[in-house]
């Protein structure tokens, strides 16, 4: 079954590329994978066009939920981050703090350490890290990351060649790097096409709203529900985050009108 493009005609003109792409795709079969195949570099999501192509394929594969979320949220932001150590440091720094605080801390890290080379972090003192505003757990994480790079067990270039599960496993052996951190790195820094951070609460809540579920799915249930979006789950995640944010904004507006 193909999506009905007319359902998307209500979106803004800058989003009509989605409709055009869906029309061009027609009834083309959407490729699937077994979850263990290395990603096709041509399908990596590193720019807006690749994201639009992935969303078009999603709308074709899932004509029930994807067009509806596009209609509400529009095109989600790419949110591309720099690849390598600098990108991973941003993810570690930004956890459990506001965006403004994360930017300030990251700027101090740049100012105090200069070039993002693992040796600088491997040999830094506690005071060096404290001057940047880093907590002790984040200090330890950055030291473990630097040690893994130094030992050759973390190779950012090699991560690009691996499937999502293997890449995640390669990263999460490092102390302080959990599944969420690894997934966010693979999704936004590398642009892996099929990363799915099932433990993310906003993603869980977004799926609950979109699918009108009675309760928020846990990580295991979210993983099951995401199978319909393979091998484009990274694009689906971006869309669901945007849809969730828009749903919250609409809910707040409705509450204000009710007084």
Looking at residue 28, its pLDDT comes to: 43
**b/e string for 190-225 if b means 16 or more Cβ within 10 A?**
bbbbbbbbbbbeebbbbbbbbeeeeeebebebbeeb
Looking at residue 39, its pLDDT comes to: 60
Looking at residue 8, its pLDDT comes to: 42
Judge whether residue 119 has pLDDT over 90.
yes
Tell me the pLDDT band of 253, cut-offs 50, 70 and 90. confident
- Tell me: cis bond preceding 203? Omega within 30 of 0 counts: no
> Within a 10 A sphere around the Cβ of 166, how many other Cβ atoms?
14
Looking at residue 30, its pLDDT comes to: 44
Tell me the pLDDT band of 26, cut-offs 50, 70 and 90. very low
Looking at residue 40, its pLDDT comes to: 64
Judge whether residue 69 has pLDDT over 70.
yes
- In angstroms and rounded to an integer, the radius of gyration of the C-alpha atoms of the chain is 20
Looking at residue 10, its pLDDT comes to: 37
Q: What is the DSSP string of the chain?
A: ----GGGGTTS-GGGHHHHHHHHHHTTPPPP---S-SPPPGGG---SHHHHHHHHHHHHHH-TTTHHHHHHHH-SPP------SHHHHHHHHHHTTS-HHHHHHHHHHHHHHH-S--HHHHHS--HHHHHTTT--HHHHHHHHHHHHHHHHTS--HHHHTTS-HHHHHHHHHTSTT--HHHHHHIIIIII--TT---TT-HHHHHHHHHHHT-SS---HHHHHHHGGGGTT-HHHHHHHHHHHHHHHHHHHHHHHHHH-
In the chain, the percentage of residues whose pLDDT exceeds 70 is 83
For residues 190 and 160, is the Cβ–Cβ distance under 8 A?
A: yes
Please provide the average confidence, as pLDDT, over all residues in the chain. Answer: 86
Domains in the chain (CATH in brackets) are 5-79+219-258 (no CATH), 85-190 (1.10.340.30)
194-203 mean pLDDT: 95
For residues 183 and 168, is the Cβ–Cβ distance under 8 A?
A: yes
Looking at residue 187, its pLDDT comes to: 97
50-70 mean pLDDT: 92
Which one has a higher pLDDT value, 105 or 252?
105
CA distance 184 to 200: 10
Torsion on CA atoms 187, 190, 191, 193, rounded to nearest 10: -80
In the chain, the percentage of residues whose pLDDT exceeds 90 is 74
Structure tokens at 171: 């990263």
Looking at residue 19, its pLDDT comes to: 53
pTM to 2 decimal places: 0.84
Poorest-pLDDT segment among 58-62, 169-173, 217-221, 226-230: 58-62
11-15 mean pLDDT: 43
Judge whether residue 29 has pLDDT over 50.
no
Tell me the pLDDT band of 251, cut-offs 50, 70 and 90. confident
Q: pLDDT (tens digit, 9 = 90+) per residue, 131-187?
A: 999 999 999 999 999 999 999 999 999 999 999 999 999 999 999 999 999 999 999
Looking at residue 37, its pLDDT comes to: 60
61-65 mean pLDDT: 92
CA distance 18 to 90: 31
Looking at residue 176, its pLDDT comes to: 96
Q: Minimal CA–CA distance to 53: which of 79, 80, 21, 9?
A: 21
Q: Minimal CA–CA distance to 45: which of 152, 188, 156?
A: 188
């Amino acid at each position: 079954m193909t999506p009905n493009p007319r359902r998307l005609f209500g979106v803004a003109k800058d989003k009509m590329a989605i409709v055009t792409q869906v029309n061009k795709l027609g009834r083309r079969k959407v490729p699937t994978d077994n979850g263990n195949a290395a990603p096709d570099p041509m399908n990596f999501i590193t720019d807006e066009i690749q994201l639009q192509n992935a969303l078009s394929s999603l709308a074709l594969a899932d004509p029930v939920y994807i067009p509806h979320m596009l209609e509400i949220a529009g095109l989600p932001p790419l949110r591309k981050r720099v690849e390598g150590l600098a990108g991973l440091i941003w993810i570690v720094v930004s956890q459990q703090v506001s965006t403004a605080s994360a930017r300030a801390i990251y700027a101090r890290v740049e100012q105090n350490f200069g070039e993002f080379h693992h040796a600088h972090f491997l040999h830094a003192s506690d005071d060096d890290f404290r001057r940047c505003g880093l907590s002790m757990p984040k200090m330890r994480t950055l030291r473990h990351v630097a040690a893994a790079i130094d030992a050759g067990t973390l190779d950012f270039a090699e991560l690009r060649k691996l499937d999502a599960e293997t890449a995640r496993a390669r990263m999460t052996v490092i102390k302080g790097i959990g599944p969420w951190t690894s997934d966010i790195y693979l999704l936004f820094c590398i642009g892996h096409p099929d990363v799915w951070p099932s433990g993310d609460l906003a993603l869980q809540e977004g799926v609950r709203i979109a699918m009108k579920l009675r309760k928020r799915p846990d990580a295991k249930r979210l993983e099951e529900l995401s199978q319909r979006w393979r091998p484009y789950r990274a694009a689906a995640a971006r869309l669901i985050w945007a849809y969730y944010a828009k749903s919250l904004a609409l809910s707040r507006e409705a509450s204000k009108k009710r007084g």
